């Protein structure tokens, strides 16, 4: 039995039926990691003994009769932005190298409680700022479809791990597209839940009004199962939504779009997309129509300004959030030789501990918030945010979901955009509107362009996460029939 090729739901069933154990499944994945991660570099931290101890404990709890739910014993990889009490947490930064958090994030704690076994921590752009993992202080991860290309970012270690069969499930965070974009370019499923639907407690903050934890998986149902387990109100996060978790698993099983109204965002149909991506998107829209959806074009005139607004709002919030890295209580401290002041030590530490992109964003945010520029930049960006929300509201009066390509291009070569920030930022062109407004949005594979995966983005109203899953599952089912299997089966062997 090739355990690493199986999905999370199937593994959960096999473990529940006693046909395999959490320990066997964990061992198979650890072996896979040992075999391929030298090339993929998805993980920053793997600790075989800790993982196997967790798996043994799950097997013991199950044997003792505990009902742990459908994912008991299924392994998972966590983006290194979630604090974990038994593993280091770095957020991809030198400033946190070797840090051992004294507490668990809500997401990781809830998943532990339901018997998911942690395989390790995955690579990411430093403090989740980037679209390629090239901003990681520990070097880039590689796309399993073509190791010379990026796996997307910022949650690129998590997407690469799932696409390379090193883990059936992983977590990420999505601030401007950091789950959907890496899912799209590695040919897997990635979901940004409604803002506040998943807890930010224990997630190292980048831009607090945008940061949203979410799942990666190789199919829509697995993503929904994971989504359901870690979601729901959390008193430890003051922006957590106190509402029932949308019925995402039911929607993923339903997988039909008959009679559903699907809006194609006029501003994103073709704008900036390379020809192969535009072609796969057009085919996906035709497919939805053939499955019984009613497709209409919808205008969202302010979506074209969302990227600019985002690159003022997110750096502004980051410049404030990252002030906590002050070299005093935890993390790196540089230059404390007894002669320098605290302020000098702070400035030296931050200059050495932060990478170039983090410095750019801190300074950009400081600029946008400074008196004299506040109204022209941050203030205007906040008004654009209101206008993007109104565009969504108007659109959802006419349609049930909106669709666009997930990203303008397929995976780009490592090194291509690393010193061209604006080119890198464009990777988030289509994903950012849903972050500004808190909407749910998912990326599902919709084909290949020049041998590389393309993603379809489905955007749903706030707390309408189930609709995104329903449409994604319908697309997945139809395309897997056409391809006689998942898109990922077409990836080259590692």
Residue ranges binding other proteins (CB under 8 A): 99-100, 102-103, 195-196, 209-210, 235, 238-239, 241, 302, 305, 308-309, 311-312, 319, 323, 326-333, 336, 338, 340-348, 350-351, 354, 359-360, 362-364, 366-367, 370, 376-377, 379-387, 389, 421-422, 425, 435-438, 462
The DSSP 8-state label assigned to residue 448 in this structure reads: E
Contacts of 318 (CB under 8 A, 6+ apart): 127, 129, 206, 207, 358, 361, 362, 365
Write down the catalytic residue from 131, 132, 154, 404.
Answer: 154
Q: How far is the C-alpha of 143 from the C-alpha of 161, rounded, in Å?
A: 9
Q: Is 178 a catalytic residue?
A: yes
Helix or strand or coil: residue 88?
Answer: coil
Name residues whose C-beta falls within 8 Å of residue 435's C-beta, 6 or more positions apart in sequence: 174, 175, 176, 177, 192, 195, 210, 212, 310
Which residue lies nearer to other proteins by CB, 92 or 197? 197
CB of 33 to other proteins, least distance (A): 27
Return the number of the residue (280 or 385) whose C-beta is nearest other proteins: 385
Tell me the closest approach of the beta carbon of residue 152 to other proteins, in angstroms.
21
Nearest Cα neighbor of 26 from 56, 5, 68 is 56
Going from the C-alpha of 125 to that of each of 90, 163, 225, 262, the distances in angstroms are: 11, 18, 26, 33
DSSP 193: P
From the list 470, 411, 403, the residue with the least C-alpha distance to 433 is: 403
Residue number with CB closer to other proteins (97 or 282): 97
Ranges of beta strands (E only) in 372-415 are 401-405
What does DSSP say about strands 440-449 and 401-405: parallel, antiparallel, or unpaired?
Answer: unpaired
Shortest distance, position 359 Cβ to other proteins, whole Å = 6
The long-range contacts involving 53-61, CB below 8 angstroms and separated by at least 24 positions, are 54/26, 54/112, 54/117, 54/118, 55/21, 55/22, 55/23, 55/25, 55/26, 55/27, 55/117, 56/22, 56/23, 58/22, 58/115, 58/117, 59/21, 59/22, 59/23, 61/115
Query: Which of 235, 489 has the CB closer to other proteins?
Result: 235
Interior angle at CA 36, CA 31 and CA 38, nearest 5 = 115
Place of tokens 């209580």: 329
Choose, from 178, 198, 231, 316, the residue flagged as catalytic.
178
214: β partners = 172
CB of 113 to other proteins, least distance (A): 17
C-alpha distances in angstroms, 271 versus 114, 212, 268, 430, 439? 43, 26, 5, 10, 21
Kindly give, in sequence order, each residue whose CB lies less than 8 Å from that of residue 214, ignoring residues fewer than 6 positions away.
Answer: 171, 172, 173, 174, 179, 190, 191, 192, 193, 198, 227
Nearer to other proteins, 40 or 265 (CB): 265
Q: How far is the CB of 381 from other proteins (least distance, A)?
A: 5
Tell me the backbone φ, ψ of residue 430, rounded to 5 degrees.
-90, -20
Cβ burial of 84 (10 Å; 0-12, 13-18, 19+) is buried
Smallest separation, CB 436 to other proteins (Å): 7
Which one, 210 or 249, has the nearer CB to other proteins?
Answer: 210
Residue 80 Cα distances to 1, 67, 403, angstroms: 30, 29, 30
Q: Least CB distance from residue 425 to other proteins, whole Å?
A: 8
Question: Based on CB atoms, which residue is closest to other proteins, 104 or 222?
Answer: 104
- Which CB, 113 or 351, lies closer to other proteins? 351
Least separation in angstroms between CB 351 and other proteins: 4
Nearer to other proteins by Cβ, of 151 and 196: the residue is 196
The question of whether 79 is a catalytic residue gets the answer yes
For the bound state, the minimum distance from the C-beta of residue 193 to other proteins, rounded and expressed in Å, comes to: 12
By annotation, the residues acting in catalysis are 79, 154, 178
């Amino acid at each position: 039995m090739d355990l690493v090729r199986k999905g999370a739901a199937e593994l959960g069933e096999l473990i529940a039926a006693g046909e395999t154990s959490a320990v066997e499944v964990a061992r198979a994945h650890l072996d896979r990691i040992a075999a391929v991660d030298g090339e993929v570099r998805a993980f920053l931290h793997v600790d075989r003994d800790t993982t196997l101890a967790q798996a043994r404990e799950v097997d013991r709890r199950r044997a003792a009769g505990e009902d742990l739910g459908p994912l008991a014993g299924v392994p998972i990889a966590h983006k290194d932005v979630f604090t974990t009490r038994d593993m280091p947490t770095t957020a991809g930064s030198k400033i946190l190298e070797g840090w051992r958090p004294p507490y668990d994030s809500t997401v990781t704690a809830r998943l532990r409680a339901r018997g998911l076994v942690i395989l390790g921590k995955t690579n990411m752009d430093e403090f989740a700022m980037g679209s390629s993992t090239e901003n990681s202080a520990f070097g880039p991860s590689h796309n399993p479809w073509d190791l010379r290309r990026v796996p997307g970012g910022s949650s690129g270690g998590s997407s690469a791990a799932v696409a390379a069969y090193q883990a059936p499930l992983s977590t990420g965070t999505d601030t401007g597209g950091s789950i959907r974009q890496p899912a799209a370019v590695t040919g897997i499923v990635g979901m940004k839940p409604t803002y506040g639907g998943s807890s930010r407690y224990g997630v190292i903050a980048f831009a607090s009004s945008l940061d949203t934890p979410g799942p990666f998986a190789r199919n829509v149902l697995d993503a929904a199962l994971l989504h359901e387990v870690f979601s729901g109100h959390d008193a430890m996060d003051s922006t957590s939504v106190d509402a029932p978790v949308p019925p995402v698993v039911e929607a993923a099983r339903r997988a039909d779009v008959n009679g559903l109204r699907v809006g194609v965002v006029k501003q994103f149909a073709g704008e900036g997309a390379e020809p192969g991506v535009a072609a796969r998107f057009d085919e996906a829209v035709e497919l939805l129509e053939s499955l019984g959806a009613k497709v209409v074009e919808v205008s969202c005139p302010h979506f074209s300004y969302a990227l600019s607004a985002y690159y003022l709002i997110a750096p502004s919030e980051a410049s404030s959030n990252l002030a906590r890295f002050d070299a005093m209580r935890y993390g790196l401290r540089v230059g404390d030789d007894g002669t320098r002041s605290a302020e000098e030590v702070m400035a030296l530490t931050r200059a050495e501990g932060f990478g170039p992109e983090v410095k750019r964003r801190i300074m950009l945010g400081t600029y946008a918030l400074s008196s004299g520029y506040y109204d022209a930049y941050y203030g205007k960006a906040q008004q654009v945010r209101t206008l993007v929300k109104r565009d969504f509201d108007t659109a959802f009066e006419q349609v049930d979901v909106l669709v666009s390509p997930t990203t303008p291009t397929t995976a780009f070569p490592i090194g291509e955009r690393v010193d061209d920030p604006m080119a890198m930022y464009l990777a988030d062109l289509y994903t950012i509107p849903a972050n500004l407004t808190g909407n749910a949005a998912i990326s599902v594979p919709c084909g290949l362009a020049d041998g590389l995966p393309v993603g379809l983005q489905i955007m749903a109203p706030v707390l309408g996460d189930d609709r995104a899953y329903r449409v994604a599952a319908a697309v997945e089912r139809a395309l897997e029939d056409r391809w006689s299997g998942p898109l990922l089966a077409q990836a080259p062997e590692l």
